[in-house]
């Protein structure tokens, strides 16, 4: 997402203007003649980096060739293999998923899908193909959380339903995986509103910039039966613009609304979504590597959550 003021906080609660990844707790630099550095060490995980620390000599002759131990070479090979696997998975999505219905159109009717293509590669989708981008304040939900939220969006849905996913791609992937087991003729329509163009590999993708909250295709106004919203920043400005988008998108009669954001935003969420009956629930979404206290707000109770009371805190 784009930066907009120095007071905004991302999902980690950090200032938006300082959203660079934290430096490792320690980093070893090797002084080489002519001030060369082994920058490859910084590109791999801490555990693999230790192999380099243990196997690279601390000093070199100017003409001495640099060599790595078999363990260090194996770690480097594993790193590149993982990177190549992610790139192949993404390329497979790019060349396979999008062309079936035309990426970027937004709403895909069930009859537009190709059942032959679906059956030919009946593999579940994974967020592993989309590494988190901290510049976008991206932190994916754990699978358990993503599926729990997807199940609530699908509850009561039918082929005449339209489900919107706003800045919550991990839930979109969970929805796609759940719907693999639904008959094509029964599947609801999905729309993914997302700023990250990597997700344009999916035909349900619609570009969304919260700085322009209503700059969306006109036919989507009042079209959603249910929606999930996960604003990337803990600021009143960001939350307000996402709420404008959500209220513009949902149908006027009994839409299902889920908002996932920090506990600290409870007051503004109550104000922005009061007309839709959204309240804090007992369900707490979980992210990998993110310790902020996250709440799920919704305008309905379910088997997964109840309304949160003061005693729940």
Q: What is the pLDDT of residue 299?
A: 98
The helix (run of H) or strand (run of E) holding residue 268 is: helix 266-272
Give domain limits for the chain: 31-96, 103-312
User: What distance in Å separates the CA atoms of residue 305 and residue 145, rounded to the nearest whole number?
Assistant: 12
Q: Which residue has better confidence, 31 or 51?
A: 51
Q: Which residue has the tokens 């537009």?
A: 112
| Of the candidate ranges 70-79, 111-120, 170-179, 197-206, the one whose mean pLDDT is the lowest | 111-120
User: What distance in Å separates the CA atoms of residue 299 and residue 227, rounded to the nearest whole number?
Assistant: 11
The 3-state DSSP class for residue 44 equals: coil
The closest of 277, 217, 224, 279 to 246, measured between CA atoms, is 224
User: What distance in Å separates the CA atoms of residue 249 and residue 211, rounded to the nearest whole number?
Assistant: 16
Q: What is the pLDDT of residue 29?
A: 36
**Half-sphere exposure (Cβ direction) of 28: Cα atoms closer than 13 Å:** 15
pLDDT band at 33 (very low <50, low <70, confident <90, very high): very low
| Average pLDDT of the segment spanning 15-31 | 40
- Is-contact 198 90, C-beta < 8 A? yes
Q: What is the pLDDT of residue 41?
A: 38
pLDDT tens track for 155-192 = 999 999 999 999 999 999 999 999 999 999 999 999 99
Q: Is it the case that residue 14 has pLDDT exceeding 60?
A: no
pLDDT tens track for 212-257 = 999 999 999 999 999 999 999 999 999 999 999 999 999 999 999 9
Assigned fold of 103-312? Rossmann fold (3.40.50)
pLDDT band at 62 (very low <50, low <70, confident <90, very high): low
pLDDT band at 268 (very low <50, low <70, confident <90, very high): very high
| Average pLDDT of the segment spanning 261-278 | 96
Q: Is it the case that residue 1 has pLDDT exceeding 60?
A: no
| Of the candidate ranges 35-49, 172-186, 281-295, the one whose mean pLDDT is the lowest | 35-49
The 3-state DSSP class for residue 307 equals: strand
User: What distance in Å separates the CA atoms of residue 74 and residue 95, rounded to the nearest whole number?
Assistant: 31
Q: Is it the case that residue 205 has pLDDT exceeding 50?
A: yes
Q: What is the pLDDT of residue 77?
A: 75
Both tokens assigned to 157: 């849905």
The closest of 277, 276, 285 to 305, measured between CA atoms, is 285
In this prediction the pTM is: 0.69
Q: What is the pLDDT of residue 82?
A: 64
Q: Is it the case that residue 53 has pLDDT exceeding 90?
A: no
Q: Which residue has better confidence, 6 or 75?
A: 75
Both tokens assigned to 313: 């805190």
Give me the count of residues in the chain. Answer: 313
The 3-state DSSP class for residue 281 equals: strand
Mean pLDDT score across all residues of the chain: 77
| Of the candidate ranges 92-96, 117-121, 143-147, the one whose mean pLDDT is the lowest | 117-121
């Amino acid at each position: 997402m784009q930066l907009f003021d120095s007071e905004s906080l991302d999902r980690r609660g950090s200032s938006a203007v300082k959203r660079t990844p934290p430096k490792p707790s320690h980093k070893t630099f090797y002084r080489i003649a002519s001030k060369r550095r082994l920058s490859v060490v910084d590109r791999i995980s801490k555990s693999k980096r230790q192999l380099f620390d243990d196997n690279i000599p601390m000093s070199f002759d100017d003409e001495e060739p640099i060599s790595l131990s078999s363990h260090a070479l194996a770690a480097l090979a594993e790193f590149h293999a993982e990177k190549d696997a992610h790139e192949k998975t993404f390329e497979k999505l790019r060349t396979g998923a999008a062309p079936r219905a035309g990426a970027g159109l937004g709403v895909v009717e069930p009859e537009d899908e190709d059942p032959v293509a679906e059956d030919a590669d009946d593999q579940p989708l994974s967020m592993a193909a989309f590494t988190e981008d901290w510049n976008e304040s991206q932190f994916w939900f754990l699978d358990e959380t993503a599926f729990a939220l997807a199940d609530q969006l699908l509850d009561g849905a039918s082929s005449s339903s339209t489900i919107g996913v706003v800045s919550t791609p991990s839930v979109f992937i969970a929805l796609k995986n759940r719907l693999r087991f639904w008959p094509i003729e029964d599947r609801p329509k999905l729309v993914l509103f997302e700023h990250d163009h990597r997700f344009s590999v999916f035909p349900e993708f619609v570009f969304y910039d919260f700085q322009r909250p209503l700059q969306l295709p006109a036919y989507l106004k009042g079209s959603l039966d249910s929606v999930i919203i996960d604003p990337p920043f803990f600021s009143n400005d960001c939350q307000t613009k996402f709420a404008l988008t959500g209220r513009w998108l949902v149908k006027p009669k009994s839409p299902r609304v889920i908002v996932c954001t920090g506990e600290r935003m409870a007051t503004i969420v109550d104000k922005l979504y009061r007309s839709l009956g959204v309240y804090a629930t007992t369900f707490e979404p979980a992210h990998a590597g993110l310790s902020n206290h996250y709440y799920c707000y919704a305008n309905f109770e379910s088997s997964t959550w109840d309304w949160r009371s003061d005693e729940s805190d």
